[in-house]
Amino acid sequence: MRVDAQPAFVLHARAWRETSLLVELLTRDHGRVGVVARGLTHAKRHPLRACLQPLQSIRIDYMPRGELARLLHAEASDAAPLLTGDTLMAAFYINELLLKLTPRNDPLTTVYELYARVRDELRLHDSLGWTLRRFERDLLDVLGYGLPWGTTADGEALDPSARYRLDPEHGPIRDPRRGIDSVTGAALLALAEDRFPGNDLLPELRQALRDVLASHLGPQGLRSWGLLGELARIKPRDRP
């Protein structure tokens, strides 16, 4: 059945054959959808190609056909955010995370709303690390992988001064050895309360959440992690 005027965000686009694109979209009502956009080399189709860029908000008409739908029409809903440097890398990371964790054609309205929020937050250039940690937490929650961020796996209140290992299946487990892969209770409580933990605790949350995400992504992980690691070796910064 044809789908008309569906709000969507462009996650990824790549060339297909000589004149077409394969485009991954995050739609409001139908989740992640893969579409084929044909004949984009014709001059009349250049506006369509222009609006099929990552981060763009669009409205689309498409015809579902198995794994890949046929794109019939698309038009931009607003101007895509103009991002550069670390913020642009963070946007690519968010898009890749959604491509790897969300199944196609599974309605995920909350994920669409979450993406709209983080897209707007990236425009503001606030603390990039905190923006990403909140997104990762909320994405895990809406996909059913969420953890009891503010209590231990046994339901006990976290001790801000203690350190915990973040088990991907059960949540925080107290780590009396205070290993280098552990995270402070203060950082986890800030995450649970949606409260900025301070720049000194953000690196702990970054690694803890990455470990949780890695358990759901499988052995290949994300290409973005490797790129971010290379950039971190080139220059010091507030790592996303």
CATH number at residue 133: 1.20.1440.120
pLDDT digits (tens, 9 = 90+) for 85-118: 999 999 999 999 999 999 999 998 999 999 999 9
Q: What is the mean pLDDT of residues 19-34?
A: 95
Confidence of residue 29 (pLDDT cuts 50, 70, 90): very high
- Residue 39 pLDDT level (bands cut at 50, 70, 90): confident
pLDDT band at residue 41 using 50, 70 and 90 as cut-offs: low
Residues 212 and 125 grouped into a single domain: yes
**Domain total of the chain:** 2
Q: What is the pLDDT of residue 92?
A: 94
pLDDT of residue 235: 52
Residues 149 and 171 reside in one and the same domain: yes
Residues found in the chain: 240
- Alpha helix (H) ranges present in 37-184? 46-50, 85-101, 109-124, 128-142
Return the SS3 of 177: coil
**Looking at the structure, do residues 131 and 23 belong to the same domain, yes or no?**
no
Q: What is the pTM of this model?
A: 0.90
Residue-level pLDDT at 116: 97
Whether pLDDT at 56 is above 80: yes
Domain boundary pick from 76, 105, 134: 76
Asked if the structure places residue 240 within a domain, the reply is: no
Span 67-78, pLDDT tens digits = 899 999 999 999
Name the residue range of residue 42's domain.
3-76
CA distances from 2 to 65, 189, 230 (A): 10, 46, 44
Residue type, 47: P
Euclidean distance between CA atoms 147 and 153, whole angstroms = 9
Show contacts of 170-177: CB within 8 Å, 24+ apart: 171/147, 172/147, 172/148
Residue 239 forms part of a structural domain: no
| For range 35-43, the mean pLDDT | 79
What's the mean per-residue pLDDT of the chain?
90
Same domain, 26 and 55: yes
151-200 tens-digit pLDDT: 998 999 999 999 999 999 999 999 999 888 899 999 999 999 999 999 99
Of 145, 54, 58, give the one whose Cα is nearest residue 101. 145
More confident residue, 52 or 65: 52
In a domain, 111, yes or no: yes
